[in-house]
Structure 1
Amino acid sequence: MADFEALKKKYFVQPDDTELPSEPLPATFGGCKVTPLIDGVEYFRDLAKQIAPLGAGTPSENSAQFIYITGWWLGFMGRPAVPGPPPIPARPPFSLDGAGATNHLVDVLKAKAHAGVDVRVMGWISFSGMADYGLLTTSVRGRIGIRDINLDTMASILGLRKELALVEKACLSIISHSAGASHTKMALVGDGSGSAIGYTGGLDLDNDRHGSQPHPPREWHDVQAKVEGPAVQALYDFYRSLWNENRARKIKSFRSVNEIVISHTPTTPPVPARTFPTTPVGGHHLQSLRTVPRFNYKSTNNLPENEKISFAPDGFFEVRSAWFNAVLTAERYVYIEDQGFWSVEVMAWLNRVIKLRADLKVILVKGINDPNDPPFPAYANIALWNGLLHDLNPQQRGRVRAFLRNVFVHSKTTIVDDHWAIIGSANAYRRSLYSDIEHAVGLLDEEDKLVRQYRVRLWSDHLGLLDPADQQKIADIDKALNVWDGNWGTPGSGVTLPPTLAPIPLPTIETTLDSSQQDRYDRYDDVDSRLPWGGCLP
């Protein structure tokens, strides 16, 4: 067994690694249990199991229970059909039990709130892109490209507010950067016993996300982390900070399809402070990682601006510091599963560690293009070339492989050396490091089993290994690496790459953007909140 104290010192952010105030030491906990939930069906089933028994006790018992949710996209109400051509079919209301199931989450939450459970839902809306329908903000909105997603979220909040107990507790989050988002996808469930369970990761509460292995083409693949034990305190405190920051802001109004929706009410209650038990429930250790943007505007800006977030006026870039630290300590492999790979900085970390470690392997996995993303594949080519490949020699380039799966890979996860992993909402984008509101967890295990087991299950999903016995064929990391490239590791697993997982040719020349594309990238698609933002519209 590995020396755990040595692993913790190596892979976790340490006090000497911090750069105050924006990269403080992340909240760090032992005695936890973390369960990676792979794909939406697994996560939604677990969340439904935790929610189901709430609200069945006395009024006093029910009032001690809570369900807190925040998301980038809330699809609780579904969408009506849109006539063609081509016609777009109706999307049913969201249910944790599956697309088309009758147990709609909006009704479940209203029933729990009616029974006295403290239910709170906070869905992000672009305050700059969706304010009014003025000429200026229409132009901004067209570039940010989130109108339909924000309309779904507003409809979800309106649906919840039909329950009297939720009028003040179903809110729109308005505290993001002008060209950023509150991208955190988190749920917390307290059963009234004094403890709670937290979930954080990439999964939005929308019917698109009901995926499970084996995936048919164009289904969604994603990961959420279930957190139990002392670290739930950090997830709860972050949710509380976001909620209370939001309720302290001036109320903003937005136009839905048929009505005006206010962000929150003057009497929206604060989320109370709670102290959860520190009793160990397992041997997993966790760092709770946040991205909170700065608000740095050009002096000539004529675009909508937002105020600094009071609990992080200089921003928090903990996701960046933890990710950077772990990648730079890698010795055997770095595996990143993401939807974009736009960040030159993240790719530069890989470039640096490939040069430092003569045998280190890098595996990048993405899926077909997310229909909610802007169609700019050039961003990835720029990051891969300028950040990762441009000065590597042939031997070093031979240790980098990228693959495309025939599903929407929406997960945001990195695994290093079978020791450390990160699961959260933060993509390999510049905006996830510096501009969107994000949350992730960095993981280690005293027995050094958790991350290897997670890697085996995650890779088995991609490699089509459904049977647990077949999954053990890739438990040995050398045999597993050989599956990705026959020149790596040790043959003998008996596993081959399925046709659903195709190698991606890596760029061999530099890609450039014209001035209009570069402006869109810097101002809307992949913003860096450390830099002045705004100016006149082109």
Structure 2
Amino acid sequence: MAPNGRAAGSRAVLGSLTGPADSWLGAGLEHLVEARHRRRLQRLGHVAALDAASGMPSRTEVGDDTGATGAPTAPEPTWVTPSRVRSGNSLRVLVDGAEALAEVQAAILGAQRSVHIAGWHCSPDFRLVEGPGSLTLRELLGTVAHRVPVRVLMWGGPPVPVFKPSRRDVRAAAAGLMSGTSVECALDTREFTMHCHHEKLVVVDDRIAFVGGIDLTALAGNRLDSPAHPRTGSLGWHDASTVLQGPAVADVAAHFNARWGAVTGVTLDDPEPAPPAGEVEVELVRTVPEKMYDFLPRGEFSILSGYLAALRSARSHIYLENQFLWSPEVTDVLVAKLEHPPGNDFRVLLVLPRRPNNGRDTTRGQLARLLAADAGRGHLLATTLVGPTRESPGVYVHAKIGIVDDRWLTVGSANLNEHSLFNDTEVNVLTLDRELARSTRLRLWAEHTGRPLEDLDGPVAGVVDTVWRPICDEQDEASAAGREPVHRIERLQALSRRVDLLQGPLRGLLVDG
């Protein structure tokens, strides 16, 4: 046997020996994490977030409450906090940075009263648009700050410089934004160990708000990408944001104002809700850990509640784009759906990064659970995005989008991991607008498959099986033969052994607080 063959054989033997132990260790640790999460939320009075839409049979109850087809009945997707739902809004989904950041810059340049930005990190030299004469973020904000208040709230960085941006990096960025300008910057250093302030918000005049996953920085990857993802010299970056106008903007503004006041001691007056600007109902959902701010001493976990309720309600399809798939609570619901699908045409379609910037093995581990639950029945397809050439760095999936049955849509900053659902500050928008959910899904599918909308506008199961799967098959063949990519998507495999899949659960167990 050749040396490579011997190594492969050894790995296969090791895998066969450790497989049962891997599974036992992984499942055991996930149960510990989930039990700790439940105790924590019970203590805080938020355990209902874990039991959202509890009319749906749980994993152990499936089969006891079924409809005429033998599949579990499911409730309609609903709001997390109905009293916070705002009607009369305009809500648009902006796909990829080239589109989103151009609109952000235009809104900032048109500011008449104020510009408020909250982010994970902001870089003074970052340009929101490309081309001759484009402004850096410092130049853009400095220009506007001559006439209106401009306030930037950033995470202060980790207390120990184990990853970027370090606290030194953040202080330098804040100094760069303020140097020679009237821009105000505040650094929020309140966080649980190994967690951060992760939301990405821009609020202009308390009348237009951008809520999504796009950071105003090139740290870790250039956010200025387009749906064609044409870059060959740098990592492509698939992301999404929303632009919101109408009464719901007041909730985004109030959230920023509350955090700004907590960090700086300066109270900003919350705006009255703006007049109607459209016909979309919107709810702002958040993760705010307990004991972080006096304005929410017991925290808020409405993003977690929203996702769990929607996933449990799924009857036709679940479509998720996300940077991470660590959360055992989310995976439990998906596993239950795949083990007991609502019908033969039920589909779960995932778009995840090939190599998350951390936690890669954990993401693959949860994928392994899902593939095992599907057991080859074809209800699940997990995919990733590829670059334009074999030698290109590829395309990183940073979007955080959830669509269920074309009835429920969320976009924001929250990943599907313990960080975003329990420990980082996050903000998403949620809507039950069917047309917006459907049109967003079709637009994303057209981008990823390279097919016109009319080829994708049909029953979801049929489109997944006759468009997505053949594309993945062709891409698999091209990759195996060493040829250039022939499509933008390929099938994502569960490559890791379960013993390597403990990073995310361990982190959740050790640093949840």
With the shorter chain as reference, the TM-score category is 0.7 to 0.9
| Preserved CA contact (<8 Å) 1:341 1:429 | yes
Residue 499 of structure 2: aligned partner: 512
Equivalent residues of 1:220, 1:408 under 8 A apart? yes
**8 Å Cα contact 2:354/2:492 also seen in 1:** no
Q: TM-score, normalised by structure 1?
A: 0.71
Match of 2:67 in 1: none
Decide which of 159, 162, 175 is 1:128's aligned counterpart.
159
Match of 2:207 among 196, 212, 230: 196
Q: Secondary structure at the match of 2:76?
A: helix
> Percent identity between the aligned chains?
25
Partner of 2:127: 95
The answer for unaligned runs of 5 or more in structure 1 is: 1-8, 15-23, 55-61, 77-92, 130-140, 249-268, 296-307, 488-496, 533-538
Task: Please state whether the residue corresponding to 2:130 is helix, strand or coil.
Answer: coil
Once the two structures are TM-superposed, the CA of residue 165 in structure 1 deviates from its matched residue by 2.8
Write out per-residue CA displacement over residues 193-241 of structure 1, whole angstroms, 9 at most, x where no aligned residue.
xx61011111000241000021125311100011111111111111111
Aligned position for 2:430: 442
Give the residue type in structure 1 aligned to 2:123.
Answer: G
Question: For residues 40-63 of structure 1, what are the alpha-carbon distances to aligned partners after superposition, in whole Å with 9 as ceiling and x for unaligned?
Answer: 011111112212233xxxxxxx5x
* SS in structure 1 at match of 2:256: helix
- Show the 5 A alignment for 1:360-509: 360-370=346-356, 373-374=357-358, 376-386=359-369, 388-395=370-377, 398-406=378-386, 407-445=395-433, 448-465=434-451, 470-478=452-460, 479-481=462-464, 482-485=466-469, 499-506=487-494
**CA offsets per residue over residues 461-513 of structure 1, 9 Å max, x none?**
11124xxxx223212244532312369xxxxxxxxx95221112346x96024
The residue that corresponds to 1:257 in the other structure is none
Query: What is the rounded CA distance, in whole Å, between the counterparts of 1:337 and 1:26 in structure 2?
Result: 28
Work out whether residues 424 and 441 of structure 1, in 8 Å CA contact, stay in contact via their aligned partners in 2. yes
Whether the 8 Å CA contact 1:344–1:384 is kept in 2: the answer is: no
Deviation at 1:351, TM superposition (A): 1.4
CA distance in 2, matches of 1:350, 1:247: 42
Tell me if 1:280 matches 2:264.
no
Q: Which residue of 2 aligns with 1:349?
A: 333
Which residue in the other structure is 1:212 paired with? 226
Q: CA RMSD in A?
A: 2.6
CA contact (8 A) 1:362 1:400 kept: yes
Q: In 2, Cα distance between the equivalents of 1:464 and 1:227?
A: 28
Name the counterpart of 1:176.
191
Determine if contact 2:287/2:427 at 8 Å carries over to the other structure: yes
Corresponding residue SS for 1:108:
helix
**Structure 2 partner of 1:71:** 119
Q: Partner amino acid for 2:114?
A: F
Partners of 1:283 and 1:474 lie apart in 2 by 26
Show CA shifts across 1:65-94 (max 9, x none): 110001112122xxxxxxxxxxxxxxxx21
Cα distance per residue 1:410-448 (max 9 Å; x no partner): 101111112211100001112111011000011222xx3
Change (3 A) 1:522 1:335: closer
Measured in 1, the distance between the counterparts of 2:83 and 2:375 equals 36
- The one-letter amino acid of 1:98's match is E
Contact 1:221 1:408 in 2 (8 A): yes
CA distance in 2, matches of 1:164, 1:226: 27
Partner of 1:309: 293
**1:350–1:242 Cα change, 3 Å:** same
Matched residue of 1:351: which SS? helix
- How many residues are matched? 409
TM-score norm. by structure 2 comes to 0.74
Q: Are 2:151 and 1:146 equivalent residues in the alignment?
A: no
What amino acid does structure 2 have at the position aligned with 1:146? K
Q: Which has the higher helix share?
A: 2
Structure 2 residue 27 is the aligned partner of structure 1 residue 10: no
**Partner in structure 2 of residue 34 of structure 1:** 91
Letter in 1 for 2:288: V
Please state whether the residue corresponding to 1:345 is helix, strand or coil. helix
**Which residue identity is paired with 1:464?**
G
Cα 1:404–1:356 change in 2 (3 A) is: closer
Contact 1:74 1:152 in 2 (8 A): no
Deviation at 1:186, TM superposition (A): 0.5
Identify the residue that residue 270 of structure 1 maps to in structure 2.
Answer: 267
